[in-house]
Structure 1
Amino acid sequence: MYSLIPSDASGARLSVQERQRAVLEQMLSACASTSDVTDDGSDVWKVLIYDAAAREIIAPLLRVADLRARGVTLHMMLHSARHAIPDVPAVYLVAPTEENVRRICADSAKGMYASLWVNFTTRVSRELLETLAEGVAAAPVARQTNSLVAAPGAIARVYDMYADFLTLEDNLFSLNLPGLYTGLTATNVSNADVEACVNTIVDKLFCAIVTLAAVPVIRAQRGGPAQLVATLLERRIREHLIASNNIFSESGGSFSATAVTRPLLVIVDRSIDLSVMLHHTWTYQALAHDTLGLKLNRVTVPVKDAAGAMPGMPPPMKKRVFDLDKSDFFWAENAGLPFPKVAEAVETSLQRYKEEVADLNRTAGTVGENAIDPMTADVKDENTANKLAAAISSIPELTKKKRMIDLHTNIATALLDQIKDRGLDGYFQVEEELLTRPGTFDVGRVLALLRDARGTPTDKLRVFLIFYLCVDSATDAELSRCTAALQAAGCTDLRAYSYLKSIRAFTKSISSVPAAPLTTSSSIGSGYAASVLDTLSQVANNVNKLIISADKALAAARVVQTLMEQKGDTEILEGYLTLDPKAPKGSVGHAGKPAKEAILFVVGPGNYIEYQNCQDHVCSVVKQDGKNSTLVPNGKTLIYGATELCTGAEFLQQLHANGGPKPSPPVNGTGGSGALDRSNSTKL
């Protein structure tokens, strides 16, 4: 039995995405042999087979071109109908389940591939290993040899990958456990359900720790699921450290078990700040997630189909899927910026592109609208020839840049439509003030939003719940007025509100932020009511009106910053449990020196708002340049993780589920006749 972890951990910077990509690349190259190289000697041709969970792990890390560069000619689902390719090895990446193991045994028995390199996403149990061994032994092709490549259909090797989590950026990962928050926090949940959820979290979080080759010092919020996760995780790491096949010592990386510098792992419960999960955001990446459904670094955007337009009719809309990751230079630079600045950046990039194209045309010999014929042009001059060659070589880069600009113009336009149609700028402004000045907030501003025609019922319920969570002084009369306005706006399902009322006395929040002066903001979306074709630069004209202030650190960012620096809020410093897997068993852990690297893990859902806020406030410092302030890196690294990344609407559904079964539809009359009120019915 083997475990596969990256052999090269060079560099002092923690990057969970690069580490997991290295694991997958090693997995694909493990089956290379001298007899199976490609024509150019780059790699062995192979087939990649995965299940649904593994497909999501691979998707943000390796595109089709990346797989092809590593010798993967075909990639298929495990349980799909597949043809035999008996002269090519197959690399499997699947979850360790009985169903998957039996399908692998069936592939082996049929001799589907030259050899089977089986990789389990996480640790496989002894029982499943025995099932695999028995299934292979019973197959007629099972002839084990001492050579690395056995008979056709034989199992060549079995790996524990410890890769059962999703990495979306260098500093962002998710355990991909949608809806698990309900299993942890619902009012009717049993102890067995909680225990099962915690064990699942520990299994997947341990995979992330192994992938990072890091033995962290653990600080955990006391008294809830975070403490349970921390205790079990510390025990799991300790068991591996004393084992003969210590997986942490195999990498020899700069963050291995023997390293002097060790990262800090901070584990918090979602209850530390519920309002951030309902917050309407204003940054580019978070807006794309909350309004366009950004998932696995891919976003689906409605765009105009000019080719399908009928004469005299507006062009129809079609949906296009775009990949967004750090290979996209615009996304890498602007993902965390407020949307008005992004709109300005789109205009700037487009203008710069036009200037580069004009310069290219001048260099290539274009005069006005008439290009010089290259067959008759005099290019005997060496300098002219060199310039022309340089101009031609720059065409692919300019083409790529134009494609990126068009992509982000489409995304920005789609976001602008959402902002305009739903009035999201108004929700953002009110919620920011709720988080900043809850003690002096006027309930009338919330009521105005609830009665506004713009915004979905979900938008209205989200802002009301933030008001309820932040304003302790809200009276019963004010809350009744708000709920009446919600019902009038079509929001009849208030189970989330009922749930929050039931737990409010037990939820200790530190989500209030330092007071900061707010500027009066006009509605950015309203400037586009006349036409969606107005230039995006008009948004940038309002750039100073809805910019997120640099001093608004959310609760999670303040906790991590305090624990990393070992100074500040004594309630945080003394209230968080300290566990050290390398300390003698039974000893009381000590926090140690200030940390430069940390991992923040939220037991419950997270989102891009909290992730970006942590990056801004933990890993950056504010640099003042006259009236302008910018964030510059401070040398610290923080990796953010959660059980899942979900939108405000998705989190609201989990709160609804915690509040009990969905209420029955209303009926006519008071006599209990049971007749449906057809005026409120919806056609399915």
Structure 2
Amino acid sequence: MFSRFSVKVKQIEALKSILRLNKDPLEEAKKANADVIEIWKVLIYDQFAKTIVSPLLSTNSLRSLGVTLLLDLTSRRQPVPSVPVIYIFKPTDENLNLIYQDAKENLYDYMHLNFTSSIRTETLQSFAGKCAKDRVDSKIVKVYEHFLDFVSYEHNLFSLWHENSFNKLNSQDSSRREYMQKTAAQLANVLYTLGTMPIIKYSESENAQYLSKYLAEALRSESSPFSILQKQGSSSIISSSSSAPRLSNAYTQMAMPSFQDYERPLLIIIERSADIVTALQHHWTYMDLISDLLDYQPGRINYTKKVQTQSSSSSSSTTSQTTKQHFDVSFDDDFFWVENFNAPFDTIGPQVTNLVSKYTVDAERIKGQIMNGIGDGESNEGMGIGGALDPLTATKSVLDKHVLIATQLNEIVKKRSIDIYSAYEEELRSGNSNGRIFDILNADKAYSDQAPLIEKEGQQSSSPQEQPNQGTLADMIRLLSVAYLSPQPVIQRSNRDGENESWTSQIDGMEQKLKRNGAPYIRSYEYLKRFKNRNADRPESSGKIFKNMTELFSSSIKLPYVERLVEDVMDAKQSDLADSLITIDPKQSEIPISSAVSRDSTMKVKSRRAIVFIIGGATIHEYLLLADYAKRTSREIILGSTEILTPLSFLQQLQLLQQQQ
């Protein structure tokens, strides 16, 4: 059972409120002295809102809330009269124009508009003016501003769903401050949805300082829901604004959160630059491998299935077609996922096998008991078996799914020697490498690219440069990058001429060899070299970040950056990592930010709850580390970021940065 400190729970509550026309059905039923009855309705959303809704509410859940028709805002749609139509969308000019066209074409009689975030007054005024001019504003019943412009992967994992955020933060573009303001507005919406005002702790990087400054200003502003609720002295769900632009009988309204201030969490803001290695490593847990090797989206694993169909022209010939399918993985209804998402991959196979064997024994036992107890009567017998086996059937369905997932992963792991890469990289991070990495980096062949998406049957198309057990050239770039950024062991190896070579010389040699082999993402490695050299020599904040990372690798406590930092901060320890953070309390609205920083910069705050936000992208591995730490210490920790990175997507951003130079 998940606590109220859950982005997923809170976002689901907000969506259910929208789908109930921003009313409480129980209260409405009480007033009418009747049973709760869901009104039939149509849901129309844009692509971003679809990304928000899909992992949170299944088709069955939507149906139970009265949604009978689900439509894309950009698609051509038929009229549906006399039924409430609920729109959820980003308040962009393009989307508003589509809705204006719907009203103008008289597609729907009752239009309920729900913005995923606040809308600029000028934009809404323009929209209202067009609707009034064409006398279609009466179609619009209600207009609501919400705080939903983020994606909940899990109860304690969310993303702002940006693209190339690391690239944006590290490019020479002058729009970084504007980007930080946008990020602050979205992060504030996460906090409004949670209904909590945190104490902010941030690293000394320039981007973290900007984000924290803009976020504190947003939280303490007059238009903040926290400020509005404080003035109203009420936790009302909806707060109307008499100054908002009017659409016929519809004022723009703000969906207010329920504000809980009894236990304020810490909000720890750090940058991806503080730990590059974790984002590139080959990790070994079940969920790590799913996110790295498969097409993993929030709560879902997408895959392409090949289907053999008989040719219409010949009974003996067949054609191959592909269809897109998916597996759903959820902590809410998948017992195997709950128990094993953070388990080492080599334990997954035996665990699935044991559970399948147990299922088989239990199913045979129940069938035998029912057959012996029922006697004659085939129809009754069948119904009895079916009813008794329903729970086991659900169990079997979950196990079948994970058998297929594990089988697919296992084929890629074997083909690319992911276990070897993972082991070598752990040795590198700990400073205990004996140079074995060069055995794999010296391979004459490798796959030319990342392995393609696998199919349900576990089949993979072969590359002409395939060399089993060597991985892909991209795997090698990742390994080389980890080696370059990790502590350098004092070892020497003999080259082909029998001469001893230093570690640095061997790394440089491997880089040249990968270049000659046409390795993809070699420019991402070149960017990392430039990044390390540039930041190591800089005395200001970005140089300190890299210095902290280097010291962390050299520490006798071999913990990744985010885990060690969060542990030190939440325990209020005296440590270089914890002491490097600056503290702001957004509730101190009467104190300018500069003064608040100066006064509170050394404040130590123990907390049972924390939100960790990584600018530039977080990884599934960091989510798993924090989930494990929270479980061990009975704490509640939410991880959020501008985006959730995969090693491949991170390499692509590094490559782009190098190309921009």
| TM-score (ref. length: structure 1) | 0.77
Q: Which residue of 1 aligns with 2:487?
A: 471
Q: Which residue of 2 aligns with 1:69?
A: 64
What SS class does the counterpart of residue 394 from structure 1 fall into?
A: helix
- In the TM superposition, what is the alpha-carbon distance from 1:329 to its structure 2 partner? 1.5
What SS class does the counterpart of residue 114 from structure 1 fall into?
A: strand
Q: Which residue of 2 aligns with 1:115?
A: 110
> Counterpart amino acid of 2:582?
L
Q: Which residue of 2 aligns with 1:641?
A: 640
Q: Which residue of 2 aligns with 1:658?
A: 657
- In the TM superposition, what is the alpha-carbon distance from 1:317 to its structure 2 partner? 8.5
> Would you say the 8 A contact 1:353–1:398 is kept in 2?
yes
> Counterpart amino acid of 1:273?
D
Q: Which residue of 1 aligns with 2:541?
A: none
Q: Which residue of 2 aligns with 1:158?
A: 143
Match of residue 370, structure 2, among 364, 373, 394: 364
Q: Which residue of 2 aligns with 1:337?
A: 343
Distance of aligned partners of 1:248 and 1:658 in 2 relative to their CA distance in 1, 3 Å threshold = farther
Deviations 1:478-511 (A, max 9, x none): 2221113323543165211221122213133427
- In the TM superposition, what is the alpha-carbon distance from 1:241 to its structure 2 partner? 6.6
Q: Structure 2: how far apart are the matches of 1:515 and 1:332?
A: 33
Q: Structure 2: how far apart are the matches of 1:72 and 1:266?
A: 39
Structural mapping, 1:532-571, within 5 Å: 553-569=559-575, 571=576
Match of residue 204, structure 1, among 147, 166, 186: 186
Q: Which residue of 1 aligns with 2:498?
A: none
Asked if 1:217 is matched to 2:199, the reply is yes
Moved more, 414-423 or 41-50: 41-50
Q: Which residue of 1 aligns with 2:7?
A: 16
Asked if 1:579 is matched to 2:571, the reply is no
Q: Structure 2: how far apart are the matches of 1:308 and 1:332?
A: 41
Asked if 1:346 is matched to 2:346, the reply is no
Q: Which residue of 1 aligns with 2:21?
A: 30
> Counterpart amino acid of 2:479?
V
Asked if 1:599 is matched to 2:606, the reply is no
Asked if 1:168 is matched to 2:168, the reply is no
Asked if 1:455 is matched to 2:471, the reply is yes
Q: Structure 2: how far apart are the matches of 1:300 and 1:581?
A: 41
Q: Structure 2: how far apart are the matches of 1:258 and 1:73?
A: 35
Asked if 1:508 is matched to 2:525, the reply is no
Deviations 1:40-73 (A, max 9, x none): 8521111111111111011110111111110111
> Would you say the 8 A contact 1:13–1:637 is kept in 2?
no
Q: Which residue of 2 aligns with 1:413?
A: 407
> Would you say the 8 A contact 1:53–1:94 is kept in 2?
yes
Q: Structure 2: how far apart are the matches of 1:456 and 1:278?
A: 14
Moved more, 132-141 or 447-456: 447-456
What SS class does the counterpart of residue 455 from structure 1 fall into?
A: coil
> Would you say the 8 A contact 1:238–1:582 is kept in 2?
yes
- In the TM superposition, what is the alpha-carbon distance from 1:650 to its structure 2 partner? 1.0
> Would you say the 8 A contact 2:220–2:226 is kept in 1?
yes
Distance of aligned partners of 1:312 and 1:129 in 2 relative to their CA distance in 1, 3 Å threshold = closer
Q: Which residue of 2 aligns with 1:328?
A: 334
Distance of aligned partners of 1:303 and 1:126 in 2 relative to their CA distance in 1, 3 Å threshold = closer
Unaligned regions of 5+ residues in structure 1, if any?
A: 1-9, 144-153, 380-387, 517-550, 622-633, 663-684
- In the TM superposition, what is the alpha-carbon distance from 1:572 to its structure 2 partner? 2.2
Q: Structure 2: how far apart are the matches of 1:77 and 1:59?
A: 13
Q: Structure 1: how far apart are the matches of 2:524 and 2:36?
A: 59
- In the TM superposition, what is the alpha-carbon distance from 1:106 to its structure 2 partner? 2.1
Q: Which residue of 1 aligns with 2:277?
A: 275
Q: Structure 1: how far apart are the matches of 2:584 and 2:258?
A: 17
Q: Structure 2: how far apart are the matches of 1:261 and 1:552?
A: 32
Match of residue 50, structure 1, among 45, 48, 51: 45
Q: Structure 1: how far apart are the matches of 2:360 and 2:306?
A: 23
Q: Which residue of 2 aligns with 1:428?
A: 422
Distance of aligned partners of 1:252 and 1:482 in 2 relative to their CA distance in 1, 3 Å threshold = farther
Q: Structure 1: how far apart are the matches of 2:358 and 2:309?
A: 28
Q: Using the aligned pairs only, state the percent identity.
A: 28
- In the TM superposition, what is the alpha-carbon distance from 1:237 to its structure 2 partner? 0.3
| TM-score (ref. length: structure 2) | 0.80
Distance of aligned partners of 1:31 and 1:235 in 2 relative to their CA distance in 1, 3 Å threshold = closer
> Counterpart amino acid of 1:503?
F
> Counterpart amino acid of 2:154?
E
Q: Structure 1: how far apart are the matches of 2:276 and 2:336?
A: 31
> Counterpart amino acid of 1:276?
T
Q: Which residue of 1 aligns with 2:495?
A: none
> Would you say the 8 A contact 1:249–1:257 is kept in 2?
no
- In the TM superposition, what is the alpha-carbon distance from 1:372 to its structure 2 partner? 5.5
- In the TM superposition, what is the alpha-carbon distance from 1:284 to its structure 2 partner? 0.8
> Would you say the 8 A contact 2:310–2:316 is kept in 1?
no
Which of the pair is proportionally richer in helix?
2
Unaligned regions of 5+ residues in structure 2, if any?
A: 238-256, 446-466, 490-501, 536-545
> Would you say the 8 A contact 1:105–1:132 is kept in 2?
yes
Distance of aligned partners of 1:653 and 1:141 in 2 relative to their CA distance in 1, 3 Å threshold = closer
Asked if 1:98 is matched to 2:93, the reply is yes
What SS class does the counterpart of residue 218 from structure 1 fall into?
A: strand
- In the TM superposition, what is the alpha-carbon distance from 1:11 to its structure 2 partner? 9.0
Q: Structure 2: how far apart are the matches of 1:376 and 1:68?
A: 32
Distance of aligned partners of 1:11 and 1:61 in 2 relative to their CA distance in 1, 3 Å threshold = closer
Q: Which residue of 1 aligns with 2:510?
A: 482
- In the TM superposition, what is the alpha-carbon distance from 1:328 to its structure 2 partner? 1.4
Structural mapping, 1:370-449, within 5 Å: 373-374=376-377, 392-437=386-431, 440-449=432-441
> Would you say the 8 A contact 1:16–1:167 is kept in 2?
yes
Q: Structure 1: how far apart are the matches of 2:410 and 2:319?
A: 19
What SS class does the counterpart of residue 587 from structure 2 fall into?
A: coil
Q: Which residue of 2 aligns with 1:521?
A: none
- In the TM superposition, what is the alpha-carbon distance from 1:117 to its structure 2 partner? 0.9
Distance of aligned partners of 1:350 and 1:318 in 2 relative to their CA distance in 1, 3 Å threshold = farther
What SS class does the counterpart of residue 582 from structure 1 fall into?
A: coil
Distance of aligned partners of 1:83 and 1:316 in 2 relative to their CA distance in 1, 3 Å threshold = closer
Asked if 1:182 is matched to 2:167, the reply is yes
What SS class does the counterpart of residue 296 from structure 2 fall into?
A: coil
What SS class does the counterpart of residue 639 from structure 1 fall into?
A: strand
- In the TM superposition, what is the alpha-carbon distance from 1:637 to its structure 2 partner? 0.4
Cα root mean square deviation, aligned: 3.3
Q: Which residue of 2 aligns with 1:613?
A: 625
Q: Structure 2: how far apart are the matches of 1:499 and 1:376?
A: 70
Q: Structure 2: how far apart are the matches of 1:104 and 1:226?
A: 38
- In the TM superposition, what is the alpha-carbon distance from 1:471 to its structure 2 partner? 2.9
> Would you say the 8 A contact 1:217–1:591 is kept in 2?
no
Q: Structure 1: how far apart are the matches of 2:51 and 2:231?
A: 25
- In the TM superposition, what is the alpha-carbon distance from 1:339 to its structure 2 partner? 0.7
- In the TM superposition, what is the alpha-carbon distance from 1:200 to its structure 2 partner? 2.1
Q: Which residue of 1 aligns with 2:252?
A: none
Q: Which residue of 1 aligns with 2:289?
A: 287
> Would you say the 8 A contact 2:78–2:107 is kept in 1?
yes
> Would you say the 8 A contact 2:521–2:651 is kept in 1?
no
> Would you say the 8 A contact 2:481–2:525 is kept in 1?
yes
Distance of aligned partners of 1:615 and 1:591 in 2 relative to their CA distance in 1, 3 Å threshold = farther
> Would you say the 8 A contact 1:180–1:643 is kept in 2?
yes
How many corresponding residue pairs? 575
> Counterpart amino acid of 2:424?
V
Distance of aligned partners of 1:42 and 1:299 in 2 relative to their CA distance in 1, 3 Å threshold = same
What SS class does the counterpart of residue 299 from structure 1 fall into?
A: strand
- In the TM superposition, what is the alpha-carbon distance from 1:248 to its structure 2 partner? 11
Distance of aligned partners of 1:30 and 1:389 in 2 relative to their CA distance in 1, 3 Å threshold = same
